[in-house]
Amino acid sequence: MGVENLVVDGQRDAAVVGDATQLHQVVMNLCTNAAHAMEHGGVLTVAIHHVEIPERRLLSHGTLSPCLYIRLVVSDTGPGIPPTVLERMFDPFFTTKGAGEGTGLGLSLVHSIVADLGGAIDVATKVGEGTIFAIWLPVAGQAARPVAETVRDLPRGNGEAVMIVDDERSLVMFAEETLAELGYEPTGFDSSVDALQAFSADPRRFDLVLTDETMPDLSGTELAREIRRLRPDIPIVLMSGYSGAQLTERAHAVGVSDVLRKPLVSRNIAEPLARALAAGR
């Protein structure tokens, strides 16, 4: 893979490819990674192009069908990505950063968003030279969007009020978007303590609680226990980056109906939410 044959130019263009929150997440994560990779200095380039793809094209991560795309390119002149990292970098929680420095969720989130928008990713990197991430997104209305079609087939909410709790603000926003798209009425909290306070102020306000597990002060399962004390019939769904027998056991002990793996995308969340609500009725 050569970096030199993917030189970017500064063409700018606007077209609808997805919602602003999702696109913001993609750009922020790629730029943050590039900046981290260049801690001793370097050049970060961000560019957008309109590109017409006349025939199927295979990328490093996905395939493009013929249509009009927006190509967003983020490149850096950092150390490049060695093959062992390249293989696993899109996995949730894979990070080469030290404890407390990175969650390893950045690229897995980028991957989910791009897949949701019917796009694909191309990574070109050379150790010692740098890295280029090209995000290809079909321009709205220009392509068959297979994933969007499945989203339409997923079970949908009917305006049920869902409390979302996650200490990571960006993940709260992402979950809010996803749930709103599925027909729910989400309200996000980035503090479990604030969430508990809101719940105790009005235990009938919400139809379901969707909470992260790992949070400061009050973990998801602790929050679930308190909420259940206030209202024993409320369905609670837990989300966590890891799923293990221990967590499942702890979750069920406090009345959680399902444990979902982060990051959440519509495909993975629609069924469990509908199931939890149906069981709670």
Ligand X SMILES: Nc1ncnc2c1ncn2[C@@H]1O[C@H](COP(=O)(O)OP(=O)(O)OP(=O)(O)O)[C@@H](O)[C@H]1O
Residues 264/243, Cβ–Cβ less than 8 Å = no
DSSP run (H or E) holding 245:
helix 245-253
Residue from 25, 29, 211, 221 in contact with ligand X (CB under 6 A): 29
Strand-pair partners of 125: 131
Residue from 67, 105, 124, 276 in contact with ligand X (CB under 6 A): 105
Spatial separation of the C-alpha atoms in residues 250 and 231, rounded to whole Å: 19
Residue from 42, 102, 183, 280 in contact with ligand X (CB under 6 A): 102
Task: For Cα atoms 33, 36, 42, give the angle at the middle one, nearest 5 degrees.
Answer: 105
Which strand ranges, in their side-by-side order, compose the sheet holding 236-240?
Answer: 185-189, 161-165, 208-212, 236-240, 258-261
Q: Which does 94 bind (CB under 5 to 8 A by kind): ligand X, Mg ion, none?
A: ligand X
Any contact of residue 169 with ligand X (CB under 6 A)?
no
Q: Which does 278 bind (CB under 5 to 8 A by kind): Mg ion, ligand X, none?
A: none
Task: Tell me the residue nearest to Mg ion as measured from the CB.
Answer: 106
Q: CB-based contacts of 219: which residues, under 8 Å, 6+ apart? A: 192, 213
**Shortest distance (Å) from residue 119 CB to ligand X:** 17
How many residues lie near ligand X (CB under 6 A)? 21
Any contact of residue 157 with Mg ion (CB under 5 A)?
no
Any contact of residue 125 with Mg ion (CB under 5 A)?
no
**Shortest distance (Å) from residue 96 CB to Mg ion:** 10
**Shortest distance (Å) from residue 88 CB to ligand X:** 8
Closest CA to 114 of 87, 136, 144, 140: 136
**Shortest distance (Å) from residue 36 CB to Mg ion:** 7
- Locate tokens 């928008």: which residue? 117
Any contact of residue 107 with ligand X (CB under 6 A)?
yes
Taking contact as CB under 5 A, which single stretch among the options 27-35, 86-94, 138-146, 163-171 is the one that binds Mg ion? 27-35
Q: CB-based contacts of 82: which residues, under 8 Å, 6+ apart? A: 127
Task: Tell me the residue nearest to ligand X as measured from the CB.
Answer: 106
Any contact of residue 75 with Mg ion (CB under 5 A)?
no
Spatial separation of the C-alpha atoms in residues 180 and 178, rounded to whole Å: 6
Residue from 70, 72, 104, 117 in contact with ligand X (CB under 6 A): 104
Name the DSSP class of 3.
Answer: S
Structure tokens at 158: 């009917």
Residue from 78, 80, 92, 106 in contact with Mg ion (CB under 5 A): 106
Residues that bind ligand X (CB under 6 A): 29, 33-34, 37, 76, 78, 81, 85, 89, 94-97, 102-108, 131
